[in-house]
Structure 1
Amino acid sequence: MNTYLHTNQDLNPNFGFALTDSAVLAEGKLIITQKAEVEHIELDIDPQRCLKDGRKVSVVAQQLDAPIVRQDASIIYGQELSFVQYTVNLHPDTKFSIGSIEGIDYSVDFGWSDVVEGEYELRISIHRKTPRIAEVPLEPEQMAMVRYAQVVTVVIALFPAQPTQEQLASAPVWTRDHHVFDSYGSAGFILADLPRMVPRVDELLGAGDHNLVERFNEGDLSAQLLNEGLMATAWGISPWCYSIYAAPDATAQAKLPVDKLGEEPVCTGIYRIAAETTQLSIIPANELVNWPACTKKEWPQIQVAGSGETLRMALVVQNCESVNGLHENPLPSFVITRNEGLPEIVEPLINIVIVD
């Protein structure tokens, strides 16, 4: 393959690329060269050959002060399939690359250039995230769709071998309420502050059954609920599986590579949120035709940490490139952050196209 993969070598210390088929990485090697390229080390990326199963795959490499707790990594990236850790002594001229990728006749360089001499741990873990729809019994054809939607992530982390006491005391901070991976239809979804939204809709429309989709199209109800900080919306999206992330704190947000591996966000929505609100329910927009019955169902929740009344929802998309003739696919993620102050205007996400 003569065309170079799209990577982000200018975004140190996070590096990444994505491929449509993980099998081409199964024999891949992490190559370390140093001492004017005289010393050459090759390490297996996938000693257990988990990648041969064939899924969309994202490769993430990070230079960290301390490793991400393994339980946290399983929330961010999905179920851990493989884990290996190497101790390496590095020099300022050390270079990292990945070679032996099937269909690519060159090594993919990380572009790291600020390695401090010393002893490090190099951790490689492989994860697979699965849409939450698979947590309930499914028909065989549905399981085939779930398999297609699954995403494998190869996480390569480089960090000092001697952790500080603070690092040794680190504990998991991510929970299921900080990352939701699921499929959403063309209508999109809302993030609803249900304890406040349900009684407010009753006040505005009266008790009883309502089709909120029709009501939103007929008048100013949607704008009113948005302006009052009762919901955040993503209307009209490409039917796909999306990750929705809201990091538990600023430190965790700084380590989250998902919003640092692509280009600038495709788009960003700006919303209002009540100062006291910390949980939002993720409800597919098509469910709003049966209000308030839809509010009685158990929906995934996203926990919004921090303080402030401004909520931002940025859509970042990493493209899975093909090296063996398969169709290219996007890996979209919504990254939610919270800021101080109340936004002057609400700018909801509308008509989001990630697949033509």
Structure 2
Amino acid sequence: MNTPLHTNQHHQNSNFGFALADSAVLAETKLVLSHPEDTNEFQLDIDPQRRLKDGRKVSVVAQHMDAPLDRQDAIIIYGEELGFAQYTVALQPDSTCSLTPIEGIDHPIMLNWGDFAEGEYELRISLHVKTPRIAEGPLEPEQHAMVKYAQVVTVVICLFPAEALHLQMNTAPENVWTRENHVFDSYGSGGFILADLPRMAKRVEDLIGSGNHNLIEQFSEGDLSDTLLEEGLMAIAWGVTPWCYSIYSAPDEHSRTILSVDKLGDEPQTTGIYRVHPESKRLNIVPVNELAYWPSCTEKAWPVIDVAGEGETLRMDLYVQICESVNGLHENPLPSFVLTRSEGQPEVIIPLIDVVIVD
């Protein structure tokens, strides 16, 4: 392996992440807890049922939190739960946590969470797999292999004070993420638009009349796309490397902290800025190629993404985490578009155009 597993491997952070091209290399990995004054190490299985042997792209997310992530929220964020284990551990200020062995990597991966307050903690490890939405319907035989290739396994390691678990057990669950906060799918080389379709359809009819239209041609020949963007009726990612990617829109500001920058990548690869209509709270995700069949495409059941907040500015950040090459498999990107709504109107609209996820 020629590159570090984590771009910030030397700094301390409550969120830590890396990704590999093949989950099988983690099937025998332990999470090792060490204390400098104690020669005994605690070795905890991250995958007791060896689910990781069925190789997939894998992301490892390690978070030191004040309270555990609700299990239903974790399923929305990371996908179907494949396995779950929880351990009670005692930590000291100078305790260390690492992952080892990892096949093909000759050194432990340190989880640089920083100093701990001495005490009892819960260490929760869950395995998840996210699958493209297309697999929820009938598939052609050749699509099954494509879906398997697109699936992403996530190992979620969550450390939190033991008293937080006791508090959670005595309160009602507060899961806040829904299916409309995360969509994982592929939209082809044309990219996608986010649109309040009823409002957009009415405005398109006002501007170019009723009847059948090819909006792709209309966008390239006139001012229609500029008008729709300026009026906050759509946001576009026009021309995207064909790939499966997540589109996240956290339900509130606190929930956004779960989507840690370290997990997704240090900085956005690119950012789009859009206006969103003040009354639009739910946007349809429509593949650009479908716009050639307007307005019939508006009658289809497209996925919906919630855009929480009251402002008229919508930011779309593209983060790309790289699955490092292992087991002879080439590195692979894990792209995520993260939507954030904020107060006020944008000073300038910056649409995403010709988005390159992988060369």
Cα distance in 1, alignment partners of residues 318 and 102 from structure 2: 29
Is the aligned partner of 1:130 residue 2:125? no
Q: Which residue of 1 aligns with 2:229?
A: 226
Is the aligned partner of 1:215 residue 2:218? yes
Is the aligned partner of 1:6 residue 2:6? yes
Q: Which residue of 2 aligns with 1:157?
A: 158
Per-residue deviation at 1:193?
1.0
What whole-Å deviation, never above 9, does each CA across 1:2-22 have from its counterpart, x for those lacking one? 754234333611101000000
Residues 98-117 of structure 1 correspond to what in structure 2 (within 5 A)?
98-117=99-118
Per-residue deviation at 1:30?
0.4
Q: Which residue of 2 aligns with 1:282?
A: 285
Q: Secondary structure at the match of 1:283?
A: strand
Contact 1:194 1:281 in 2 (8 A): yes
Cα distance in 2, alignment partners of residues 301 and 11 from structure 1: 37
Per-residue deviation at 1:234?
0.1
Cα distance in 1, alignment partners of residues 262 and 107 from structure 2: 27
Matching residue's letter, 1:111: N
What whole-Å deviation, never above 9, does each CA across 1:157-181 have from its counterpart, x for those lacking one? 0001012747834411111000000
Matching residue's letter, 1:50: R
Cα distance in 2, alignment partners of residues 210 and 192 from structure 1: 17
Contact 1:242 1:333 in 2 (8 A): yes
Is the aligned partner of 1:192 residue 2:191? no
Cα distance in 2, alignment partners of residues 304 and 270 from structure 1: 14
Matching residue's letter, 2:180: D
Matching residue's letter, 2:213: H
- Unaligned residue ranges in structure 2 (runs of 5+): none
Residues 187-336 of structure 1 correspond to what in structure 2 (within 5 A)?
187-257=190-260, 260-336=263-339
Contact 1:191 1:283 in 2 (8 A): yes
Of 121-130 and 272-281, the range deviating more from structure 2 = 272-281
For residues 99 and 7 of structure 1, do their structure 2 counterparts lie closer, same or farther at Cα, with a shift above 3 Å needed? farther
Q: Which residue of 2 aligns with 1:74?
A: 75
What whole-Å deviation, never above 9, does each CA across 1:6-63 have from its counterpart, x for those lacking one? 3433361110100000000000010111143533111001000000000000000001
Cα distance in 2, alignment partners of residues 261 and 176 from structure 1: 20
* Cα root mean square deviation, aligned: 1.5
Contact 1:229 1:272 in 2 (8 A): yes
For residues 2 and 238 of structure 1, do their structure 2 counterparts lie closer, same or farther at Cα, with a shift above 3 Å needed? closer
Matching residue's letter, 1:26: A
Cα distance in 1, alignment partners of residues 167 and 148 from structure 2: 41
Of 256-265 and 234-243, the range deviating more from structure 2 = 256-265
Aligned residues between the structures: 356
Matching residue's letter, 1:28: T
Contact 2:261 2:267 in 1 (8 A): no
What whole-Å deviation, never above 9, does each CA across 1:93-145 have from its counterpart, x for those lacking one? 01111001111111001112221111100000000000000011111210100
Q: Secondary structure at the match of 1:255?
A: coil
Aligned sequence identity (%): 67
For residues 37 and 99 of structure 1, do their structure 2 counterparts lie closer, same or farther at Cα, with a shift above 3 Å needed? farther
Q: Which residue of 1 aligns with 2:65?
A: 64
What whole-Å deviation, never above 9, does each CA across 1:317-352 have from its counterpart, x for those lacking one? 000001221111000000000100001211001111
Matching residue's letter, 2:8: N
Q: Which residue of 2 aligns with 1:178?
A: 181
For residues 342 and 161 of structure 1, do their structure 2 counterparts lie closer, same or farther at Cα, with a shift above 3 Å needed? same
For residues 320 and 4 of structure 1, do their structure 2 counterparts lie closer, same or farther at Cα, with a shift above 3 Å needed? same
Q: Which residue of 2 aligns with 1:89?
A: 90
Matching residue's letter, 1:328: E
Contact 2:194 2:286 in 1 (8 A): yes
Cα distance in 2, alignment partners of residues 197 and 250 from structure 1: 28
Q: Secondary structure at the match of 1:275?
A: coil
Contact 1:14 1:261 in 2 (8 A): no
TM-score under structure 2 normalisation? 0.96
Question: Which of 330, 343, 350 does residue 353 from structure 2 map onto?
Answer: 350
Q: Secondary structure at the match of 1:65?
A: coil
Q: Which residue of 1 aligns with 2:51?
A: 50
Cα distance in 2, alignment partners of residues 214 and 261 from structure 1: 35
Q: Which residue of 2 aligns with 1:118?
A: 119
Q: Secondary structure at the match of 2:257?
A: helix
TM-score under structure 1 normalisation? 0.97
